[in-house]
Amino acid sequence: MPRVPLMLCLALLTAATSAAGAENPQTTPPLGTASFTPPEANAKSTSLTPQTFVTRAAVANMAEIEASQLALERSADAGLRKLAMQIINDHRAAQAKLKTIAAGAKIALPGAVDEEHRAKKAQLAELTGASFDKQYVSMMHAGHQEATALFESATQSAQLQAPLKAYASETLKTVQLHATEAEKLRKQH
């Protein structure tokens, strides 16, 4: 006899949960599932706001500059040093343009890289020689792949103003070039 009320309770609970889910459908899988990606971490997110784009682009610029400055200090590889210098120059120019556009749109830029990029730089800083070179070019390739996805998304975002879209389109070409050059060096290391 006690089994019937238990089964009835489970059935009612299941029905109530299903009804609540229909009223508030989840757009993303719950946190902790293998396929969950927070929207702010997804470069192709349809909710790419001007503030989100500016923040992520600024952090990417600063992270590439900082890692490349470290490469100039640590690496003896001429090709790697050439890429690092090019990345520094291009990302400084990109950051200056972004700062101007953001100021015009009254969007604040972050003053430093986020914790994720600080941790990556710290790991890189612990390496020397060939290990450093290999990690640096892998990091540059992966970082520029992520930036490519971000800038491609920005060029398609309905929420971004024309100056930000133009910046994304123009900068995308440079980011893709860096990714290609980093991939060439990665194959050598």
Q: Which residue has the tokens 């950051």?
A: 95
> Exposed, middle or buried, 49 (CB in 10 Å: 0-12/13-18/19+)?
middle
pTM: predicted TM-score of the whole model, two decimal places: 0.74
pLDDT at 125: 96
Q: Is the pLDDT of residue 151 over 50?
A: yes
Does 131 score more than 70 pLDDT? yes
- Mean pLDDT (the chain) is 82
- What's the rounded Cα separation, in Å, for the pair 67 and 146? 16
Show Cβ contacts of residue 44 under 8 Å, excluding neighbours closer than 6 positions. Answer: 149, 152, 153
Q: pLDDT tens across 76-98, in order? A: 999 999 999 999 999 999 999 99
* All structural domains of the chain with their residue ranges: 45-188
* Coil/strand/helix, residue 27: coil
| pLDDT of the residue at 49 | 96
Give residue-wise pLDDT tens across range 114-130. 999 999 999 999 999 99
Q: How far is it, in rounded angstroms, from Cα 42 to Cα 53?
A: 11
Q: How far apart are CA 167 and CA 76, in angstroms?
A: 34
The CATH topology of domain 45-188 is Ferritin (1.20.1260)
